[in-house]
């Protein structure tokens, strides 16, 4: 059996290379020969070795021959495994093309983006136009190349051929090609070069911002800076002991959910096991499910915990307007909320540890300007597949670098929508939850900051959750996360300008928070690497330096991966995948900025509930404060249900994403064109980036579906 091509993370415990030799005589058995170990090749005349240099010289030569032969055998095995791997890949592509749906098809579960068809068609048509033009120009350039034409014709030669009749010097084709070179030199290259230089400037500004954030994170680690409660009384994270804990105000806990039948049990169980005085804790399960069966299951789970003494309530809205913001707004209007001082919010797939409130709430003591304490996310399925690994890299940088640095130095960052504790007075002062955008968490954070409230981010307090395991779910999530901020920017810009805050805070919010990180980043990423770079292959007079294509992106990817050092082998896939996602982010940014397409559509990210059983077992082993009794789900029954699901797999259809496929062929065409002009690093970047778009377009990343 041929060895695998890629064995990242696999520990090789067998020293030496085994070879199995089969003898022809049936009376003989199979003999396993061990290859020489490193110690055998390091023979010396020292007394400890027991072997003289002269006696070992002949043996070492034979052993070296063995090593070379065995290495050649292993290399041959790797080469033989390439063909089956390619055949398997082609077979997978055929299955996806045969059974997959395009991103233009409607989804039977109603969970896909309801984009404006005219906007979708217009955006897709532009990409197809670039693709068709690039294919035509590639054929044109190949013919010109084999006819002996080159791309650096002199100006006077261009003008000469421009006006020479077709029956003149070298015929009609030569005259036509000269006209094309003249047009691109005079009319196409200057505006393309200007756009290229503008994107390079934006790229450098964004890179400097990223570098400044990394330096700030390094300074925090070097100085060991972290938020400390002013009034004391916080759980010691290192020893696990309480030090003078006496601050226990009234806390309201909210769990907003919508059709979350995969994860509702684990989230409710985790929140009901929070270590907080029973009389000072109220849990609201805010169910917006439109499926009666799911409503019944969640309501039954709440009733079981009520029977065990948990102070928990079930709420279901009859009029389900405003998505999550409307759900939270409705819950805050309850009359009993006025008795509570703080509210903790957890999405349905989040599992706070029992001491979560003891690590977060004490920061509010004697700190009247503090409005929000945000905890960090950790992911139970970060190693599930390549897609979750790449998401973990991105989100680790977001929390450990962006959120932590902004929290330490300017006391402001975007609320992540969950795993945070708010002062209820802050929510009321900011105007409460509003349903005007799909990023209600960022909306309330911006309005609270404009009213002078401060935020704290706790990097050492984690709350487990789940990452999207399929590209379709991740794509919808990213569309909402990048269209919503642009909606909010349009709405909040007048308020930011009129706000009574310092000029520096206004600059930070307008330029850094919104424009640079939410608008400029997806704009230049898509424009520079997916449009300009392929065009410069067909208009080589406009140059894109190699350091823009390779060196700076590689350095930025290295900085991004520092908070997740175990993911270092995935640095190249991460760089390519981030550029691939730029088409989705760019489309979402344009939709949100100009109120187009699905800017107001909220799509709940699908959960797998993959960690439910393990988390329930750990909760039982820890012995929660409220004994579960009859409320504990039967684990045997849970296993049977999983087995039934496995035996009756619902056939899933992987989507075929036409925009990504069109861009894949555009980039691959440009890579072929770059060979004619010996572009070097540009060819490799375009080739691998095109392959990345092809894999994503065929939905060959993320959840593996039979």
Residue 699 among the catalytic residues: no
The catalytic residue among 103, 174, 287, 288 is 288
Q: 383 phi and psi, to 5 degrees? A: -105, 20
What does residue 214 show for φ and ψ, rounded to 5 degrees? -65, -40
Q: Kindly report the number of other CB atoms within 10 A of residue 239's CB atom.
A: 8
Contact 372, 456 (CB under 8 A): yes
Query: Order of strands across the sheet with 251-257?
Result: 312-316, 281-287, 251-257, 342-345, 420-423, 370-379, 454-465
Alpha carbon distances (Å) from 264 to 172, 296, 376: 72, 12, 21
From CA 306, how far away is CA 436, in angstroms rounded?
35
The three-state secondary structure class of 31 is strand
Concatenated DSSP letters for 431-491? T----SSS-HHHHHHHHHHHTT-EEEEEEEEEEEE----BHHHHHHHHHHHHHHHHHHHHH
3-state class of 674 per DSSP?
Answer: helix
Pairing of strands 31-33, 312-316: unpaired
Q: Please, are residues 658 and 670 in contact by the beta-carbon 8 Å criterion?
A: no
Residue 202's alpha-carbon distances to 42, 199, 527, in angstroms, are 56, 5, 11
Cβ proximity of 281 and 253 under 8 Å: yes
CA atoms lying within 13 Å on the CB side of residue 441:
20
Query: Could you tell me the end-to-end alpha-carbon distance of the chain, in angstroms, rounded to an integer?
Result: 24
Helices vs. strands in the chain: H and E counts, helices first: 24, 11
CA-closest candidate to residue 336, choices 444, 269, 254:
254
How far CA 393 is from CA of 210, 280, 386, 399, in Å, comes to 15, 38, 11, 10
DSSP 511: I
**CA atoms in the 13 A half-sphere facing the CB of 63:** 16
Query: Which tokens sit at 178?
Result: 């000269």
> How far, in whole angstroms, is CA 596 from its chain's centroid?
24
Residue-wise over 537-565: b if at least 16 C-beta within 10 A, else e? bbbbbbebeeebbbeebeebbebbbbbbe
**Helix (H/G/I), strand (E/B), else coil: 690:** helix
* Catalytically annotated residue among 441, 443, 615, 699: 441
Q: Would you say how long the chain is, in residues?
A: 706
CA distance 14 to 32: 13
Output the CA torsion sign for 156, 159, 161, 164: negative
**Nearest residue to 459 (alpha-carbon basis) of 241, 224, 208:** 224
Is 288 annotated as catalytic?
A: yes
Which residues have a catalytic role annotated? 288, 441
């Amino acid at each position: 059996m041929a060895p695998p091509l890629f064995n990242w993370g696999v520990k090789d415990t067998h020293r030496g290379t085994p070879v199995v030799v089969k003898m022809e005589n049936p009376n003989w058995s199979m003999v396993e020969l061990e290859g020489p170990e490193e110690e055998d090749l390091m023979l010396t005349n020292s007394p400890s070795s027991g072997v003289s240099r002269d006696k070992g010289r002949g043996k070492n030569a034979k052993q070296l021959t063995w090593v070379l032969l065995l290495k050649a055998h292993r290399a041959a095995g790797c080469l033989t495994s390439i063909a089956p791997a390619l055949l398997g890949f082609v077979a997978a592509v055929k299955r996806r093309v045969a059974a997959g749906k395009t991103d233009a098809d409607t989804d039977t579960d109603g969970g896909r983006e309801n984009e404006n068809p005219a906007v979708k068609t217009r955006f897709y048509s532009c990409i197809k136009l670039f693709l068709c033009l690039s294919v035509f120009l590639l054929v044109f350039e190949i013919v010109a190349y084999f006819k002996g034409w080159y791309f650096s014709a002199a100006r006077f030669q261009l003008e000469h051929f421009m006006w020479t009749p077709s029956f003149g010097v070298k015929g009609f084709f030569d005259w036509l090609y000269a006209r094309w070179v003249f047009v691109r030199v005079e009319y196409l290259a200057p505006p393309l070069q200007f756009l290229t230089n503008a994107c390079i400037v934006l790229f450098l500004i964004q890179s400097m911002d990223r570098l400044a954030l990394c330096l700030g994170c390094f300074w925090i680690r070097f100085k060991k800076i972290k938020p400390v409660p002013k009034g004391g009384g916080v759980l010691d994270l290192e020893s696990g002991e309480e030090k003078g804990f006496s601050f226990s105000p009234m806390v309201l806990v909210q769990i907003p959910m919508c059709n979350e039948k995969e994860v509702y049990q684990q989230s409710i169980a985790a929140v009901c096991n929070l270590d907080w005085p029973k009389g000072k804790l109220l849990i609201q399960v805010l169910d917006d499910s439109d499926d009666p069966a799911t409503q019944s299951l969640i309501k039954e789970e709440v009733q079981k915990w009520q029977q065990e003494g948990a102070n928990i309530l079930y709420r279901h809205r009859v009029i389900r307007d405003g998505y999550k913001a409307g759900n939270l707004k409705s819950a805050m209007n309850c009359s009993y909320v006025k008795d509570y001082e703080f509210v903790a919010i957890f999405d349905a797939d989040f599992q706070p540890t029992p001491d979560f409130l003891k690590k977060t709430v004490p920061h509010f003591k004697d700190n009247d300007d503090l409005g929000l304490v945000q905890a960090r996310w950790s992911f139970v399925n970060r190693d599930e597949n390549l897609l979750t690994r790449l998401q973990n890299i991105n989100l680790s940088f977001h929390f450990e670098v962006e959120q932590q640095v902004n929290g330490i130095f300017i006391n402001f960052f975007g609320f992540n929508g969950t795993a945070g504790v708010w002062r209820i007075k802050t929510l009321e002062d900011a105007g409460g939850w509003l349903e005007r955008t799909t990023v209600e968490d960022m909306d309330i954070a911006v309005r609270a900051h404009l009213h002078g409230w401060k935020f704290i981010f706790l990097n050492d307090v984690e709350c487990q959750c789940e990452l999207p395991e399929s590209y379709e779910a991740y794509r919808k999530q990213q569309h909402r996360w990048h269209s919503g901020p642009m909606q909010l920017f349009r709405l909040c810009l007048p308020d930011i300008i009129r706000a009574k805050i310092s000029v520096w805070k206004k600059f930070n919010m307008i330029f850094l928070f919104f424009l640079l990180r939410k608008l400029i980043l997806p704009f230049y990423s898509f424009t520079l690497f997916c449009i300009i770079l392929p065009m410069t292959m067909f208009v080589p007079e406009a140059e894109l330096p190699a350091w823009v294509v390779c060196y700076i992106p590689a350095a930025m990817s290295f900085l991004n991966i520092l908070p997740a050092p175990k993911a270092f082998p995935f640095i190249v896939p991460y760089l390519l995948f981030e550029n691939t996602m730029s088409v989705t982010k760019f489309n979402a940014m344009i939709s949100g900025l100009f109120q187009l397409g699905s800017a107001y559509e909220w799509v709940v990210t699908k959960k797998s509930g993959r960690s439910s059983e393990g988390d329930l077992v750990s909760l039982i082993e820890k012995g929660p404060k409220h004994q579960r009794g009859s409320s504990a789900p039967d684990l045997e029954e849970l296993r049977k249900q999983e087995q039934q699901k496995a035996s009756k797999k619902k056939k899933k259809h992987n989507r075929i994403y036409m925009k990504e496929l069109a861009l894949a062929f555009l980039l691959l065409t440009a890579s072929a064109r770059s060979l004619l002009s010996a572009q070097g690093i540009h060819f490799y970047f375009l080739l691998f980036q095109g392959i990345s778009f092809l894999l994503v377009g065929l939905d060959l990343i993320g959840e593996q579906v039979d």
